[in-house]
Amino acid sequence: MKTTLLQINAEQPQADFIAQAAAIIRRGGLVAFPTETVYGLGADAMNEAAVQKIFQAKGRPSDNPLIVHVSSQAMLHRVAKEISAKAEALMEKFWPGPLTLVLQRREAVAPTVSAGLHTVAVRMPHHKIALALLEQAATPIAAPSANTSSRPSPTTAAHVLEDLHGRIEMILDGGPTNIGIESTVLDVTGDVPVMLRPGWVTPELLAEIVGDVQQAMAIDELKRSPGTRYRHYSPRARVVLLENAAPELLQQTCVELLKNERVGLISKTPVFIDDFRFTAILLADSAADYARRIYSAMRELDENQAAVIVIEGINATGVGAAVMDRLRRAASTIHS
Ligand code: TXA
Ligand code: MG
């Protein structure tokens, strides 16, 4: 399959480009497009055959459900029902934006979208290209992150191309995404909302609107058998995460690993080691900078043939909690 890459203006998306992309969605094809979080791989959420193509292209396990993107309340009501007052209040406050709500699903949604569940995850993206595509296609669009399964999510069109070239019909290249990590996922089907995936919209922000939010992490840990942590968001190189390391330990760890292999480092503390097999990417000491650049830094170090990537953690508060969640899942070794 030929993959067409269209450079499209993120502020004023060209109508003819949007029309081409929407036509592909309408006839059951796949289009990657930018959102404010990461690039999504979109298909018509009401078309079962189209949705199945997403799983094939990504190599995604079929038991992992997809997020449905909508551009209006009318579109929301085509996919979800029995929407609670709390859910309404959250939409009012955070949509369009990086908050995904798990709601009761309507039958018309392609069953594979929800991987057999009675619920459906929905969000309204805060991005002109995504919204224009949804409006023109006039159908809800199911879109997971546009990476090969288990790889870091794509924050540029080049990342999408790297993973999915020849497997999808079109990529709308609207430049790098703003936020850089995936949306917060919140289950609002019960009385107390449950956080299924931390993201840009923090529990503190959610609590201002709906009061208590339950953390699924703990529940999740209980459900999982020990040692079967699901590796995710991972570069090809193995990841060593140093959660709270002193600068000397960061340096020492890299020096030690360099005895045997090429080493990449992603840190907020500058580390200088005079060795051509060492590449360091310095980020600002802020959760926002980590969120925006972490996936692309991992991919860059992969390109650099690093065998191991050492990552310096950040404070796990606010957006930092979402960043650290991704880093812990990517890591094969964690030093806390
Ligand atoms: O920022 C984002 O959310 C990006 C952009 C493209 O919108 N999308 C994204 O999709 O990250 P994906 O497929 O990579 O992650 C979807 C997450 C998964 O953790 C999945 O398990 C969860 O949402 N999910 C989807 N439907 C669900 C449901 N019915 N119940 C519980 N979790 C659900
Ligand atoms: Mg994903």
The per-residue pLDDT for 215 is 87
User: Which domains does the chain carry?
Assistant: 4-222 (3.90.870.10), 238-335 (3.40.50.11030)
Mutate to test the pocket of ligand 1, among 37, 66, 133, 201 (most ligand atoms within 8 A of CB): 66
Instruction: Determine what percent of the chain is predicted with pLDDT higher than 90.
Output: 91
Query: Mean pLDDT over residues 94-120, rounded?
Result: 97
The per-residue pLDDT for 91 is 98
The per-residue pLDDT for 231 is 64
CA 329 to chain centre: 13
Mutate to test the pocket of ligand 1, among 38, 95, 100, 220 (most ligand atoms within 8 A of CB): 100
Nearest protein CA to atom 3 of ligand 1, as residue:
183
More reliable by pLDDT, 281 or 226: 281
Dist. CA 47–CA 27, nearest whole Å: 9
Residue spans of alpha helices (H) in 126-284: 128-137, 157-164, 203-210, 216-223, 247-258
Block residue for tokens 């059951």:
28
The per-residue pLDDT for 168 is 98
Query: Confidence band (pLDDT; 50, 70, 90) for 224?
Result: very low
User: Residues with beta carbon inside 6 Å of ligand 1?
Assistant: 35, 37-38, 40, 64-67, 98, 100, 102, 114, 117, 119-121, 125, 143-145, 182-183, 185, 196-197
For ligand 1, the distance from its centroid to the CA atom of residue 65, given in whole angstroms, is: 7
Mutate to test the pocket of ligand 1, among 182, 186, 188 (most ligand atoms within 8 A of CB): 182
* Ligand 1 atom with the shortest distance to the CA of 119: 29
The per-residue pLDDT for 228 is 37
The per-residue pLDDT for 207 is 97
Residue spans of alpha helices (H) in 211-286: 216-223, 247-258
Ligand nearest to the CA of 233: 2
Q: What is the mean pLDDT of the chain?
A: 94
- 20-61 pLDDT, tens digit each: 999 999 999 999 999 999 999 999 999 999 999 999 999 999
Dist. CA 30–CA 45, nearest whole Å: 11
Cβ–Cβ under 8 Å, residues 334 and 241: yes
- 267-321 pLDDT, tens digit each: 999 999 999 999 999 999 999 999 999 999 999 999 999 999 999 999 999 999 9
* Ligand 1 atom with the shortest distance to the CA of 120: 29
The per-residue pLDDT for 275 is 97
Ligand nearest to the CA of 183: 1
**CA dist 113 to 35, 110, 117, 122, 245, Å?**
19, 6, 9, 11, 41
* Ligand 1 atom with the shortest distance to the CA of 185: 23
Tokens of 319: 């957006």
Q: Is the pLDDT of residue 222 over 90?
A: no
Q: Is the pLDDT of residue 230 over 60?
A: no
For ligand 2, the distance from its centroid to the CA atom of residue 41, given in whole angstroms, is: 10
Query: Mean pLDDT over residues 67-77, rounded?
Result: 98
Mutate to test the pocket of ligand 1, among 95, 119, 145, 149 (most ligand atoms within 8 A of CB): 145
